[in-house]
Amino acid sequence: MKRFILASASSSRARLLRAAGVEFEIVPAAVDESVLKRASVADGHDAATMALRLAAEKARSVAELHPDTVVLGADQILMFDGEAVNKCRDAREAFGLLRQLRGRTHELVTAAVLAANGAEIWNHVDICRMTMRNYSDAFLSMYVSRADGALLHSVGCYEFESLGVQLFDRVEGDFFSILGLPLLPVLAALREYGVIEQ
């Protein structure tokens, strides 16, 4: 089997791959996401193209340093009212964002890219529609305090696999993509490229 690297520091993505029995190393990509996002916006890219561009840059940059290795890069873009939302810097920002999203629908765009020898060899993008319930400020305060710093790791400030699921009324899309990785398509690609058994 080929050597496999996850070019991400995301604990959620690592957890999904480990639970699926995939052996891998973690080498976070040294990529300035804010610069790439600004360039994508300036180029007029839609959310799917933006997410794919970020995921591809992460995968390619690590693959260039590790020849003959399959590298997985991934990224998520949250689109709300036609704008890409950035990760929050602190609990106050998270509270404000979740108040804006309350009772509304947003799109969560998840991209995954495989690269080898510095070149992209596979990509996939999923778009999930996420509808939040009209939760109270009291619930929101409790959520932000209990989620602590963990909510700052996700672009929407929710950990859907835990307490964050209580923020939602309805979701349309793949559960694994919401967690940060379109797992079933990724596993199929890993089988195709000789990383895991067919």
User: What residues are annotated to the active site?
Assistant: 75
Q: Three-class SS of residue 180? A: coil
Contacts 24+ apart (CB under 8 A), 87-94: 87/152, 87/153, 87/154, 87/155, 88/151, 88/152, 88/157, 89/152, 90/152, 91/144, 91/145, 91/148, 91/151, 91/152, 94/144, 94/151, 94/152, 94/157
167: nearest Cα among 138, 148, 140, 145: 140
Q: How far is CA 37 from the centre of its chain?
A: 14
In whole angstroms, give the CA distance from residue 138 to residue 124: 39
